[in-house]
Structure 1
Amino acid sequence: MGNSNNREPVEPSAGVGRPGFISGQQSQQGLGAGGARQFDASGNQAISGAAAPLAAAPGGPTAQVTLAQAQEMALRITTFFESSKSMNFQALADDFDRQGMSFGLIQWNFGQNTLGPLLSKMLAADAAAFAGCFGPTTNFAALKSALDRGDSTAQLVWTRELQGRDKPAWRAAFQAVGSVDRFNAIQLAEAEAKFHPLTMQAVRQLRAIAPALMVALEFRSYAALFDLCVQQGGITKALEEIGTRVKNEKPATQSALLKIAVVERARLGNADFQSDCISRRMGILTGAPFESTEHGVTKKRANPQLALIAQFGAAQVAGV
């Protein structure tokens, strides 16, 4: 697992929903025959067109990526930060951070009631396959009852009891869940459906602060805000601080604006994890590991997926 202990609950925000979401079914980027997402032997999703020459923006030579490509590349970057393996559907962590457990691409967990709804969708999609992932010692009936009732407290009790009694069985069950293609498609859709709208809300908020700098959205900006939304839920808490710095410093580029935004939002988080937040986001914006020290804590998060920033960071996200 990566950093579910670093994450704050997502802030409620009006108008966040599915309308702006490009799902795997709606986009042809990274899809194979029959609409199936394509993954390589390491679990990385193929990004159709990402290795090919990118289209020129209308009226100029600036390269573009599609929104679907931007979403998929952002997921590659963030999922590596979350679990030290890009697009790791089987990423799993125990109760070390008092969240019960964390699982999947972006480390959904019982403690913040994000994992239960995800598992419920898997159960509804294929009850037999889901039940088949859980061995005879896992007390699956108790988990199913807790999911059916939407009882997050009972879900926490179930995972803590199983981890204390038979941790190998607990681990094997979720490794099995993460190996089922149908369930992985649910993980992917849920990650995109939740965090793309939050990312676009942050884009709109920055456009209100500095409209001239945000006319065309660069991929590195999208990726940094996507990662921020996964870890901190958005920039709403820091709008006043961002606005003040923008007024005083007058950033001349989108990248400079984004650096202000991610740092100010990080500094309103838990003091123990501010340097981690800054290292992740500044690494995305610069395309290289970035060392940050806050409150005596130093972090320098490496991520091989940052190569995507070196290649596509300045590309505009088409239509956004």
Structure 2
Amino acid sequence: MLELLIDPEPFELEAEILGGPAFAGLTLAERKAVAITSTLETGEAGGFFGLSSNFDGKGLSFGLVNWNIGSGSLQPLLRDFYRAFPARWAAAFGPDAARFKAVLDPKDDAAKVRQLKFVIDEANTRVMSKRHKKLVWVIKEPWAAYFRRLANDPELQKIQVRYVHGILLRAKQFCDQLGLRSERAFCFMFDACSSHGQWWNAVKDRQSILDTKLAFQRIRHGGSLPERAILTAVAETLSETSRPKYRQRVLDRKLWFLTGKLPDQEGRETKLRAIPLTDEPFTISTVAPVGGYDPMIDISIMTSFAKGARTHSDLASEAFYLRHPERKRAPIRASESAAKREWTKLRTRATQLFPKLGEHELDDELEAGSVMNVLKSLITGGQRDPSKLASDAFYALHPERSGKPIDAKREPGAVKEWKALRAQAVQALPVEPPRLLEKEESALGTTYYFAINLGIPKIKPMTAVFVPHGYRHGPTVDLMLYLHGHTGPTPIKSYFRREDAPVRQRVAASKKNIILVAPSLGMRSESGVLVEKGGLDRFLGLVLAGLGVARGANPTLRHLILAAHSGGGTHMATLAVRESRAAVQNVRACWGFDCFYNPLLDPPKWLTWARRYPDRTLTGWYHASQPETVTAIVSENLPNIRLRRSRHPNHWTSIGDETTGLIDRAAFLEPR
């Protein structure tokens, strides 16, 4: 057990802690919290002139709790000051006042990147440190003098304290969530929110890590947890999810609240002894924002988001059960009017906190602010590869990484963010006619090979569009989208030449007016952005644009058939259940050729799809190696799921045996 080394006796000079006029109205616990964090950040209790350089990649940090340019936390404070007190702003920044204001005015993500670059270029320099024997970042003149003048302005000091109020409230919400009541815990949580962000538990998988640690502590302590065990778990979670070179410093800083020891920082440790912490209950003056919402509603919804809920209804449900663990996730009954009202209130608040989430949103909504401006800026510069756009945007939004690659095993949060960026990149890219790589004429018909980039590593972007001989062109078009199975790094052109994959031959042999579309997938049928949010609609838009250039007029998609062989089957199921425009409005049937191999993913997706669209049919063939998956898919005896054993015990034969018949029996297709 960690020992208490901070004197718990009443401090006779408590009234003197942050006694200046800017701090008037704060309770003792609030003043202690601000004094401790400002000492840790700036070296002075209530140090309005905390000023740090670009040593951490944030460009410039300033104020009581080191708000910074890199994360965007300092800009709103500065904007409030120069809008309310333009003359004082001009006095502080002198000849650079107008220029600095012009840089700070824009609020989009691309502007934040420019603002970071500005303070690095204009306000920072690197000098040789005699102590460390290396180059270090420092704030250069006249910018250091500008910020000293700014820090001494009493109106700016009041604004800083006003911004601190929001962090104090957030600390109180965390205390309520974790059952913490002491002054010590409140000051700890204020420091956590100041140094790691007010939603620190919603990033880097911190909530799941913390839940695991708390569960272990409950076993260790036999149920209820002492505050010190909870705070230790939070300290370890924050440390383990920080950048490696800062982990020990983060742990030492957070454990100071429990031990009073701050290794390698004797000066600050000495100053902190003048701010005694107690285990008495804390009180705060900060009130919740107007609107009638219990602050715990927001924290429960944010925690639900951190746990993975991605629709407004799911956020409300998860938050409801977090607030009512005694229910043990029992469903809300129709007679429980109070529970129904609470759930509705939670859902309403979820729509306010996350206005961009749709009812079927499956991907992460990124933190406050849209990244679309960053993506559009990169697109304007000529980039069209979704994966490269995602990477460029990721590093633009995270300049502190200095281009450091994402570690897929150790940084799952960064991986999720990168994938969400790639999905947004797909939506941001303009639908322009793809480049025609080759036009191939044969007795079967015409095959166009278009360069459509799905962001699949090591695979040359190539999509085949086969128009059979005798096809009747019109204002609308019916497409069969075919996803091939596992193969080597083989482009679709080579795949079509396989004797055991006669897809084009069987489409040409049919009597219906349909066009075959087949993209090159990965070696294990990786589908890249095709299966991500917005991917199918964008892909089909590019196909139609390519056909428009090739044939002289852009057709409109009427009917869509999804078809797959082998490893392409799971991706076909993903496309089918996606709430994309094409999946909802255009898909009429799904055809599977020996492609039901995933017993975990395939059954729930196909059962969901079949129940959602009773007027559409899944028809497929399988052989002896897929009994578990097939049994699960047909378990509910849904009439629109029709799976049967292949006529020949061969992995490829169902393509040749069944494709033509399927097309000709599709009554919704017109004759050729």
Q: Which TM class, normalised by the smaller chain length?
A: 0.5 to 0.7
Encode CA deviations 1:157-206: one digit per residue, 9 max, x unaligned.
Answer: 3323322689211111111110100011101110221x123212321331
The residue that corresponds to 2:122 in the other structure is: 162
- 2:211 is aligned with 1:240: yes
Q: Distance in 2 between matches of 1:185 and 1:30?
A: 19
Q: 1:204 to 1:143 in 2, by over 3 A?
A: same
- 2:178 is aligned with 1:206: yes
The residue that corresponds to 1:253 in the other structure is: 226
Structure 2 matches for 1:54-203, cutoff 5 A? 68-136=27-95, 138=96, 140-150=97-107, 151-163=111-123, 167-193=140-166, 195-203=167-175
Q: Distance in 1 between matches of 2:284 and 2:43?
A: 31
The residue that corresponds to 1:315 in the other structure is: 280
Higher relative strand content? 2
| Cα drift, residue 252 of structure 1 | 5.3
Higher relative helix content? 1
Q: 1:265 to 1:278 in 2, by over 3 A?
A: same
**Given that residues 74 and 227 in structure 1 are in contact (C-alpha distance below 8 angstroms), is that contact kept between their aligned partners in structure 2?**
yes
Q: Distance in 1 between matches of 2:232 and 2:98?
A: 48
For 1:224, the aligned partner's letter is F
| Cα drift, residue 279 of structure 1 | 1.2
TM-score (norm 2): 0.34
Encode CA deviations 1:213-242: one digit per residue, 9 max, x unaligned.
Answer: x4xx11111111111121223345243223
The residue that corresponds to 2:184 in the other structure is: 220
Q: 1:270 to 1:318 in 2, by over 3 A?
A: same
| Cα drift, residue 269 of structure 1 | 2.1
Q: Distance in 2 between matches of 1:319 and 1:199?
A: 10
The residue that corresponds to 2:20 in the other structure is: 39
The residue that corresponds to 2:371 in the other structure is: none
**Given that residues 116 and 147 in structure 1 are in contact (C-alpha distance below 8 angstroms), is that contact kept between their aligned partners in structure 2?**
yes
Q: Distance in 1 between matches of 2:24 and 2:191?
A: 19
**Given that residues 63 and 151 in structure 2 are in contact (C-alpha distance below 8 angstroms), is that contact kept between their aligned partners in structure 1?**
yes
Q: Distance in 1 between matches of 2:280 and 2:275?
A: 11
The residue that corresponds to 1:57 in the other structure is: none
| Cα drift, residue 263 of structure 1 | 2.0
The residue that corresponds to 2:246 in the other structure is: 273
Q: Distance in 2 between matches of 1:142 and 1:119?
A: 14
| Cα drift, residue 247 of structure 1 | 2.4
| Cα drift, residue 319 of structure 1 | 7.4
Q: 1:276 to 1:133 in 2, by over 3 A?
A: same
Q: Distance in 2 between matches of 1:164 and 1:285?
A: 36
SS at match of 2:211: helix
**Given that residues 29 and 183 in structure 2 are in contact (C-alpha distance below 8 angstroms), is that contact kept between their aligned partners in structure 1?**
yes
| Structure with larger Rg | 2
SS at match of 1:78: helix
For 1:220, the aligned partner's letter is R
Q: Distance in 2 between matches of 1:155 and 1:130?
A: 18
Q: Distance in 2 between matches of 1:131 and 1:232?
A: 32
More displaced 10-residue stretch of structure 1: 225-234 or 151-160: 151-160
Root-mean-square deviation over aligned CA pairs? 3.0
Q: Distance in 2 between matches of 1:187 and 1:319?
A: 17
The residue that corresponds to 2:580 in the other structure is: none
> In the alignment, which of 246, 250, 255 is matched to residue 282 of structure 1?
255
| Cα drift, residue 243 of structure 1 | 2.5
Which protein has greater RCO, CA pairs closer than 8 Å, 6+ apart?
1
| Cα drift, residue 127 of structure 1 | 0.8
Encode CA deviations 1:129-172: one digit per residue, 9 max, x unaligned.
Answer: 11111122x3x222111222233233223323322689211111
For 1:155, the aligned partner's letter is Q
Q: Distance in 1 between matches of 2:230 and 2:173?
A: 16
Q: Distance in 1 between matches of 2:54 and 2:234?
A: 32
| Cα drift, residue 78 of structure 1 | 0.6
For 2:233, the aligned partner's letter is I
Query: Any unmatched runs of 5+ in structure 2?
Result: 1-13, 126-138, 286-672
Q: Distance in 1 between matches of 2:196 and 2:216?
A: 20
SS at match of 1:283: helix
Q: Distance in 1 between matches of 2:284 and 2:61?
A: 34
Encode CA deviations 1:85-138: one digit per residue, 9 max, x unaligned.
Answer: 1211112122222212111111111111111111001111201111111122x3
For 2:151, the aligned partner's letter is G
SS at match of 1:87: coil
Query: Any unmatched runs of 5+ in structure 1?
Result: 1-28, 32-36, 49-66, 208-213, 292-297
Q: Distance in 1 between matches of 2:116 and 2:122?
A: 10
Encode CA deviations 1:48-94: one digit per residue, 9 max, x unaligned.
Answer: 9xxxxxxxxxxxxxxxxxx7221111010011111111211112122
For 1:246, the aligned partner's letter is Q
Q: 1:184 to 1:47 in 2, by over 3 A?
A: closer
TM-score (norm 1): 0.67
Q: 1:186 to 1:47 in 2, by over 3 A?
A: closer
Q: Distance in 2 between matches of 1:72 and 1:319?
A: 10
Identity %: 23
SS at match of 2:47: coil
Q: Distance in 1 between matches of 2:164 and 2:270?
A: 20
